[in-house]
Amino acid sequence: MENIRLQLTASASKIGFRGIGHDKKLYALIALLTILIITASFQLQGRIGLNLADEGYLWYGVQRVMLGEVPIRDFSSYDFGRYYWSAGLMTLLNDNGIVALRISVAVFQGIGLFLSLVILSRHWKCTPLIRSTLILLAAATLVLWMFPRHKLFDITLSIVTVTMLSYLAESPSARRYFLTGVSIGIVAIFGRNHGIYAVAGSFSLLVLLTSYRDTILPFRKAFSLWACGITIGYLPMVIAIGLVPGLFESFISGILFLFELKATNIPLPIPWPWTVNFEQLPLMYAINRVLVGCFFIAAPTYAALGLLWILYNRLKGVKPAPLLIATILMSLPYTHYAYSRADVGHLAQGIFPFLIGVLAITAKRSTIIKFVCVTFLLVFSFTVTRYQHPYFSSANWENIEVSNSQIRINPGTANMLTLFDNLVTQYAPDGRTFYAAPNLLTMYAVFERQSPTWEIYQLFPRDKAFETTEIERLKAANPGFVVLSNLGTDGRDNLRFINTHPLIYRYIQDNFKRITQRGSPLEIYKSLDN
């Protein structure tokens, strides 16, 4: 019996289940910790703030999905996954409001936090007390970087990819190549860009793993299993594109538009730390900006040095720690994500492979060094991110009811909601729609109105054919009023609505009556039949 027990233990170790009983208890504790932290975070700020642009891009889309519309085809949107995830949970809650949306996103956030803590706990080999303390500090650090809340899907997707690559690197079996591919396909349903990043990182890992002499599978077989997995994981989207009328054309049009733009976002200058002007900024805010710049440098540096380290170890025939390989290979593509629009929000969405990697590096260090490194990362993270969490800046905000829920918002947002409430009452009663552009789309969700146009967030210049089609939609919808914010994104004149959508702007001027004075930050028009 003893021999049988030893053989079973050895077999379990080979497939990654060493200490399975202990791991189950640890994972249960991590799950409980995750629930407590996510719940506490939601209680602190789940009912604070309202983003009138980006958050509405998600919220409006989920409302339309709950009414039977199809993302991409019926309205401009992200990829399918996040809409159907949110719509499913909100349907269970029987609520299409902003708080219900944030609950659905928080559940997805919890998946990301749980996975990150699990893979770190497997990497930290120390006493239960020390490991538990490190997990708690790591959890606090990671949660601080989980913003903005309407982008928590993107953060979790990056963690899922790191988890699966670590899982594959730990034991590159046929089953794990296939499951890694399946996970990539599912990730791509939530975001094509994340799918591309995952393909880049996992293919690099596949090449690396199959290059060792003791590889279990040759490259061709490993690649076939991986590619087959991706196909199966992405199959629901392929079926939808094939069966839903009009979706294929809209899907391809969206891809072609990105090629026309030659960009995935509106770029911003990289906030290098040496560009911070200490004389013109309060000290703490200046320190914040310096640290932001340092993180923008640290992430790609980690990726570049990590790649050299992987190659060095490959030449020596040594296999590095699976989690470090995974974070290094995913840090480079997610650096692209952060740099595509170099602000703190996009840094947060692209930094998790780096954060997890830095935490993992401490694994073989002494207990004191572990705690010093993790504590410093926590302090630096808090200094950078505190300005991004509404809880720390909402002391003088006011309570207001939005979609049957009380939330606390800043006075400017409250005034905008009051303005729209008056306009809807006067010019768009009984479900009549309105047109809010380019960055006020949350109002469609607040007042549960269908956008009169396919494009709900008018950021980028459009060609004549596109504008002509949108004008026809405007005519058919007959909105009761129009509100335009004609200030350019990032203060850029070429991104003002009058320059990105000149034909629609002219149509509004010719077919609606302006009711605000020239020079007003908002241009408000009413329909001629009002």
Distance of CA 509 to the CA centre of its chain: 37
Angle between helices 174-190 and 152-170 (to 10 degrees): 170
pTM of the model: 0.94
Q: Check: CB of residue 113 under 8 Å from CB of residue 38.
A: yes
**Neighbour-count burial of 391, counting CB atoms closer than 10 A to its CB (0-12 exposed, 13-18 middle, 19+ buried):** middle
> CB neighbours of 359 closer than 8 A, spacing ≥ 6?
120, 138, 141, 374, 377
* Residue whose structure tokens are 């899982």: 167
* Residue whose structure tokens are 């409302």: 63
The list of the chain residues with pLDDT below 50 reads: 1-21
Cα 170 to Cα 183: distance, rounded to the nearest angstrom: 16
* Residue whose structure tokens are 């699990």: 118
Residue 328 C-beta-side C-alpha neighbours within 13 Å: 21
Cα 501 to Cα 417: distance, rounded to the nearest angstrom: 25
- Amino acid 62 reads V
Cα 168 to Cα 119: distance, rounded to the nearest angstrom: 12
Evaluated on CA atoms 26, 28, 29, 34, the torsion sign reads positive
Residues 285-306: tens digit of each pLDDT: 999 999 999 999 999 999 999 9
Segments making up each domain of the chain, as ranges: 23-390, 410-527
How far CA 441 is from CA of 11, 97, 174, 452, in Å, comes to 56, 15, 47, 11
Cα 162 to Cα 119: distance, rounded to the nearest angstrom: 9
**Neighbour-count burial of 386, counting CB atoms closer than 10 A to its CB (0-12 exposed, 13-18 middle, 19+ buried):** middle
